[in-house]
Amino acid sequence: MASKLTWRSLRDVRVIFSTVCGVGFVRYAPGTVASVVGVLVWWFWLSEFRGFYQTAIIIAIGAIALYCVSSTMRKHGIGDDSAITIDEVLGMWVALIAIPKTWWLVSAAFVGFRVLDILKPDPVGWIETKFDGALGVILDDIVAGALVVAVLHALIFWFGLGI
């Protein structure tokens, strides 16, 4: 689906934040590209923090994202626009909370998150339909990330992966 937001929309700092500095305007698969950006930011910055601090940072940035996405949706009269991609970054970060920094676990988190985000099985799809506006846009990705991180941590615990 084509975005109703345009490059001119980037004059507003809330749109810049909501579209991850314009990443949401990528023509093909903006959500996947934003997820890759999320992985890179996690790899080079967020992974250096303990899980508690990663979670605190995600909550703080999530609160800012909720405000920015809500304002952007209201100002431009849009719903879950394809250019709004901060939710993918947040969901990807949730999928990576306290995961050992190995390429294969990060790849598993990426693939798992993208599959849940695209297919939207319950409870991800249910969340998206249950909550309106910015909360629904962001929360479904948070839930998808939470499911992925739960599975990965269970596998790490049971099989000693990533150590």
Residue 77, sorted as left (phi over 0), alpha (psi -120 to 50) or beta, turns out to be left
Residue 8, sorted as left (phi over 0), alpha (psi -120 to 50) or beta, turns out to be alpha
Task: Please count the CA atoms within 13 angstroms of the CA of 90 that sit on its side-chain side.
Answer: 27
Q: How far apart are CA 18 and CA 3, in angstroms?
A: 13
* pTM passes above 0.85: yes
Does residue 100 contact residue 107 with C-beta atoms inside 8 Å?
no
According to DSSP H, which parts of the chain are helical? 13-18, 30-44, 51-76, 86-95, 103-119, 124-130, 133-159
pLDDT per residue over 5-54, tens digit each? 989 999 999 999 999 999 999 999 999 999 999 999 999 999 999 999 99
Does residue 64 contact residue 3 with C-beta atoms inside 8 Å?
no
Mean pLDDT of the 117-146 span: 96
